[in-house]
Amino acid sequence: MKKLILTLSLMSVPFLVNAQTTAPEEPEILVVSDSLSYDDINKTSQFTGNVILTRGLMRLTADTLHITTDDKGAQHAQATVSTSPKITIYEERPDTYEIINAEGKLATYDEDTEIMHLKGQAVVTRQICGKTIDLLRGDTITYNSKKGTYLATGGANAPDKTRVRSVFQARSKADAAIAECRKRYQGKPMPSKLTR
């Protein structure tokens, strides 16, 4: 099994939490699904059927989403698919003109550790101004937002036949794409494509 650990400043994908130096106001979370089972005593929520979770400028789609809140108030989530091809995660970063797309068969997130796991044909793509700048593919991709690191592992369910594949553009290409978008939007942030 091939492994690749990446510490990237270019590609920092916060899926459910945005690591920043100042504590911004927490965005509201909207979950739409065919059904919801909530257990107040055990602090669990099970969303089932065409699940769409939106938090700020991030959207997750899955067939099921299970969220548990621990005694300290931290949330732990697991998203799965059964009828859909993959879980999708889409995040916009308007100030830097970036769009992050991630997908896999299973996604987990631990709010305590700020670690996200994508499993099964996992793919993470970063685009700037519509141009793909970074691409990471593997059987499993783990992102640690506290450390800004990725761990990609190849395996039987890797999109590239047991291997990890990573493509990263030079910083100059990313800077050129940002400059192009800054000009296109006259220095203003990119408009959001997310709708509620």
Which sequence spans correspond to the domains of the chain?
3-19+28-183
Average pLDDT over residues 158-176: 86
Which pairs count as long-range contacts for 92-95, CB under 8 Å and 24+ apart, including other chains? 92/57, 92/58, 92/190, 92/192, 92/193, 92/194, 93/57, 94/57, 94/189, 94/190, 94/191, 94/192, 95/189
Could you count the other beta carbons within 10 Å of the beta carbon of residue 21?
A: 4
Work out the pLDDT band at 196, boundaries 50, 70, 90. low
Tell me the CATH architecture of domain 3-19+28-183.
Answer: Sandwich (2.60)
* Residue 168, pLDDT score: 87
- Per-residue pLDDT of 138-153, as tens digits, reads 999 998 878 878 899 9
Considering only residues 116 and 160, tell me which one the structure prediction assigns the higher pLDDT.
Answer: 116
Q: pTM for this one?
A: 0.79
Could you count the other beta carbons within 10 Å of the beta carbon of residue 30?
A: 11
* Residue 169, pLDDT score: 87
Considering only residues 27 and 181, tell me which one the structure prediction assigns the higher pLDDT.
Answer: 181
List Cα–Cα distances, 156 to 51, 96, 124, 153, in angstroms.
27, 35, 18, 10
* Residue 39, pLDDT score: 95
Give dist(CA 92, CA 57) in Å, integer: 5
Cβ density class 86-96: b for 16+ within 10 Å, e for less: bbbbbbbbeeb
Give dist(CA 26, CA 71) in Å, integer: 20
Give dist(CA 122, CA 140) in Å, integer: 6
Contact 95, 122 (CB under 8 A): no
* Residue 19, pLDDT score: 42
Mean pLDDT for the chain overall: 84
Contact 20, 162 (CB under 8 A): no
DSSP character string of 75-137 = EEEEEE-SSSS-EEEEEEEGGGTEEEEEEESEEEEETTTTEEEEEEEEEEEEEETTEEEEEEE
* Residue 24, pLDDT score: 64
Work out the pLDDT band at 55, boundaries 50, 70, 90. confident
- Per-residue pLDDT of 20-32, as tens digits, reads 446 567 778 899 9
Average pLDDT over residues 85-113: 92
Which tokens is 181 given? 């978008």
